Structure 1
Amino acid sequence: FVSVYLHEGQKAVHIATDGGRVCRPLIIVDEKTALPRMKQCHLEGLAMGAIGIKDLLRQGVVEYIDVNEENNCLIAVTERDLDVARKQGLHKRRMPHTHLEIDPLTLLGVVAGLIPYPHHNQSPRNTYQSAMGKQAIGAIGLNEYARMDGIIYTMIYPMKPMVKTRTLDLIHFDQLPGGQNACIAVMAYSGYDIEDAVILNKASIDRGFGRCMVLKKHMTSVKRYANLTMDRTCGPPDPSLFP
């Protein structure tokens, strides 16, 4: 996707075509009428599976915008913003809306969209979770036992989260969860819980709380020798065969 970014401070036009840029789809808005190009026929076609995102891109209904080009865009979060601008004639007196969000939840992205009640957290905490949530140990996939990764960490007892978000339902994260539901108490106890330290209940650990399994890949080679012998691989011997 090609992005054209007008930088007024530098009096320059930046054209980006390199791959790997962070882009996201937005619905194009007609600047003269302040109406989105996404019509009811497009929604029905998407629901029936008759058209896809490539068809919307080809028809000029949706386009991908990168972070630089967003500086020259006025993006409406909901259709209500477009209705207000249309009724008050704001699209004629100021910079008109150029795009519309597909859904307000797309503002957060996938990882941040999994955070329940993010508006009740400090913004740095949401940023930390967006960075570290991808490292959570859980079920990495349905084919985790057939994968050839060098090392795999998987949780023995993953749990579905008690509080869900719309993003979680859309990506089916509850079917391959990454964590467990814990009962916690935020309090001062002894002196071992200073700063980020925690005290765990031994009974919970004995019942398997936080228990993980590490799968490692080991390589071996089977060789043939000149004396017509060869190596072979086999499983571990049965301990009951040895006295």
Structure 2
Amino acid sequence: MVAVRRGLAACVAGLMVLLVLLGVGPVAWIVGLGCALVLTVATERRAVVDGIAAFGPADLVTLTRATLACAVAALVAQSFTGAHVVSALVPLTVVALVLDFVDGRVARRTGTASAFGGRIDGEADAFLILVLSVFVARDAGVWVLAMGVVRYAYAVATWLLPWMQQQLPPRYWRKVVAAYVGIALTLAASGLAPAVTSYAVLAVAFVLLAESFGWDVVWLWRRRAGLNRTGARDVRKGKTLQRNR
């Protein structure tokens, strides 16, 4: 177990080492450290809300993945200056995707699975997808950005619509879809596949994401009547759980 602040400090230090090794410019440093700042503040606040004083083994794996996502964000920013970043971006993304399969297994084997871990795992997935979608959209089209922003659009909707703040049932399919989308975007970013293949893989990812989020929205919509009868005040008091990807 590692204390929350110590673990987050280690993530920031690790990101700085990565950025030095990658040899990125000022813009990339600003973006990478800015993402890390958001990561540390949001994670620490969530830990306080959930009563988490220390990170377990699986949490550390997830935070390592989030740190890699910050490095990928820095590389994407670097690419807008005309630099060639694919040779570094793809390996970092592949490692992050592999760790996505590792953290859940570590949590189960060590008996440290928690709602907190699920939340930061979902946010790490969403952020990596957002960053990759920005990179891929320049060649594949603006429509790819929809895959990156849908999670955040959903989050905004939960703030505005009380009926979307109800607790969703567990659905492992969400994790499968997030993994596929990450792989599809990485393939497209690598440029290794023919353009037609990349477009086809991305189109499937788009459809899967639409189905995943659409299923959740429809499920919540159908149960809005029950929420209206009991009142939305219980939701506002935090008795329901946000959607975790």
Alignment TM-score, normalising by the size of structure 2: 0.23
If asked which structure has higher relative contact order (CA below 8 Å, sep 6+), I would say 2
Q: Which has the higher helix share?
A: 2
Alignment TM-score, normalising by the size of structure 1: 0.23
Q: Which has the higher strand share?
A: 1
Rg (Cα) greater in structure: 1
